[in-house]
Amino acid sequence: MNSLIQNVSTELSDEIRSIGHLRSYNEGAEIFAAGDPAGYLPIVVSGRVKMVKFLEPGKEVIAGIFGEGEIFAIPPVIDGGNYPATAIAMDQTKLLLIDRVDFLRLMSDYPEFQSGIMTRMCGVMRDQVAMIQTLATSSPEHRIINVLFKLVNGNASDKPVRITLRREDIAKMAGLTTETTIRVIRRIADKGLIKIDRGKIVIGDVDALKRIVES
């Protein structure tokens, strides 16, 4: 069901399943709001969730998108603070919610659970630092390519990868306007790095994006 559950011992996997609360959310539903007490750790069972920060009325920035097998909002659950951003279901979504008390007990009783959580936190921190550097120093084209690479990273295969996100969502992840994002995506397509198929972005050569991101 989930990488956190699949990659641990049977005992721990059974424990997580037994204490977790399975919840379903319709597309567009708010899971929690920025400032809410962090009472549980969410694990994505199916669907997608975006973490959104509202800078001002009508303007938002997507801080992260999480799909099947991913956990998010770890730091506030650890320290008992508030969720730093609003979580919204992007599709019909199912989450396994672990109450904070149970989460802390798992961290104490199961070293492998603690290791998995710490590994995930390190990955999130690296992604955030890389994104800050990209937003501070990169051109709009490089920002968009970085977002596209992030969306397909870990899912690359010998088959084309189809990006289902709207241009608006890609813009919010890149810190650009939707209009600029549309123009930049067209330029990237003109260079042959991506294709546009029925309005969706299709990436055939992930390695080409990786070379640009790492240049």
CATH number at 119 reads 2.60.120.10
**143 and 123 both lie in a single domain:** no
**Both structure tokens of 213:** 């991101």
Residue 172 CA to residue 87 CA, distance in Å, equals 14
**Both structure tokens of 95:** 């989450």
**9 and 46 both lie in a single domain:** yes
Tally of CA atoms within 13 A in the half-sphere of 181 that contains its CB: 21
**144 and 107 both lie in a single domain:** no
pLDDT of residue 1: 41
- Angstrom CA distances, 192 to 171, 173, 196, 207, 209, stand at 20, 22, 10, 13, 11
pTM above 0.95, yes or no: no
pLDDT of residue 127: 74
Strand order in the sheet with 30-32: 30-32, 86-89, 49-56, 59-66
Which pairs from 196-202 meet CB under 8 Å and 24+ separation?
197/162, 200/162, 200/163, 200/164, 201/148, 201/162, 201/163, 202/160, 202/161, 202/162, 202/163
**127 and 166 both lie in a single domain:** no
pLDDT of residue 185: 94
pLDDT of residue 157: 56
Per-residue pLDDT of the chain (215 residues; tens, 9 = 90+): 446 666 778 888 889 989 999 999 999 999 999 999 999 999 999 999 999 988 766 677 888 889 888 899 999 999 999 999 999 999 999 999 999 999 999 999 999 999 989 988 887 777 777 777 766 667 899 889 888 888 886 555 557 888 888 899 999 888 888 999 999 999 999 989 899 998 889 998 888 887 887 77
Domain end among 84, 99, 134: 134
**130 and 144 both lie in a single domain:** no
- Domain containing residue 96: 3-134
Instruction: Report the candidate in 66, 69, 72 with the shortest Cα–Cα distance to residue 6.
Output: 69
**20 and 122 both lie in a single domain:** yes
Domain end among 134, 157, 184: 134
pLDDT of residue 176: 87
Query: Sign of the CA dihedral 65, 69, 74, 80?
Result: positive
Report the number of distinct structural domains present in the chain: 2
**18 and 80 both lie in a single domain:** yes
pLDDT of residue 2: 44
**19 and 35 both lie in a single domain:** yes
**122 and 50 both lie in a single domain:** yes
Domain end among 111, 134, 157: 134
**8 and 47 both lie in a single domain:** yes
CATH number for position 208: 1.10.10.10
DSSP 68: T
